[in-house]
């Protein structure tokens, strides 16, 4: 059981959320999306949100700033969160405007807001569950896309709701987060996406 929960925590690591949300949009949208538009968003976002963070983590680990991919201490989270904020800003300023999709744009606005909130709480020595931030963000984004495009993706929403519950249980079972950290993390993620929908829904 413990091994399964650890594997689940790795598979649903927050690093994969931005690219997952981007790909989900292009899978769900009924709008015509030429290959150039898709690759113009997906490829640079993948590089900026997966490849560069992995390289940054390896550098920070070699410098002794972080010890694991789960960033278990508040002192380890400052630099990774700042790097993440910078990468999100780069995506919002440089990547998406070149291949503009309003849904993806405000998805990243929500992610940026959530990351800033986590950084501010980190300064107060409160370690939010970044896993639950990502799950809350993605779940609200799925619901928003379903309403926006008026399509029935209730199976996907239900499945991800189940995964969110399982992951929350995993974080608690592994003593990776407290109940407060899990709850606040989910609220930050879900709420940040909820606050952006009035601009595009």
Per-residue pLDDT of the chain (201 residues; tens, 9 = 90+): 777 878 888 889 999 999 999 999 999 999 888 888 888 899 999 999 999 999 999 999 898 888 887 777 888 899 999 999 999 999 999 998 877 889 999 999 999 999 999 999 999 999 999 999 999 999 999 999 999 999 999 999 999 999 999 999 999 998 888 999 999 999 999 999 999 998 887
pLDDT recorded at residue 146:
94
- Spatial separation of the C-alpha atoms in residues 153 and 43, rounded to whole Å: 25
At 149 the three-state DSSP class reads helix
Q: Which of 183, 47, 59, 52 lies closest to 121, judged by CA?
A: 183
pLDDT of residue 129: 93
Three-state SS at 113 = helix
Give residue 191's pLDDT. 96
139-174 as b/e, with b when 16 or more CB fall inside 10 Å?
A: bbbbbbbbeeeeeebeeeeeebeebbeebbebbbee
Q: What pLDDT is recorded for position 85? A: 97
- Inter-residue contact 39 to 19 (CB < 8 Å): no
Q: Quick count: other Cβ atoms within 10 Å of Cβ 83?
A: 17
Asked if residues 107 and 21 have their Cβ atoms less than 8 Å apart, the reply is yes
């Amino acid at each position: 059981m413990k091994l399964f929960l650890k594997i689940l925590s790795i598979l649903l690591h927050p690093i994969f959320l931005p690219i997952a949300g981007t790909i989900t949009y292009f899978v769900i949208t009924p709008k015509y999306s030429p290959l150039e538009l898709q690759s113009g968003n997906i490829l640079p976002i993948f590089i900026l949100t997966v490849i560069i963070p992995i390289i940054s983590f390896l550098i920070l680990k070699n410098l002794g700033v972080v010890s694991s991919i789960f960033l278990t201490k508040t002192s380890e989270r400052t630099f990774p969160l700042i790097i993440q904020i910078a990468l999100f800003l780069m995506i919002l300023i440089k990547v998406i405007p070149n291949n503009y999709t309003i849904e993806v744009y405000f998805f990243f606005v929500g992610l940026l807001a959530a990351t800033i909130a986590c950084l501010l709480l980190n300064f107060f020595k409160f370690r939010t569950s970044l896993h639950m931030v990502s799950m809350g963000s993605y779940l609200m984004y799925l619901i928003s896309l379903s309403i926006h495009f008026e399509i029935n993706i209730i199976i996907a929403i239900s499945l991800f709701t189940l995964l969110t519950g399982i992951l929350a249980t995993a974080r608690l079972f592994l003593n990776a987060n407290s109940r407060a950290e899990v709850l606040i993390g989910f609220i930050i993620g879900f709420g940040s996406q909820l606050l952006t929908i009035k601009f595009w829904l």
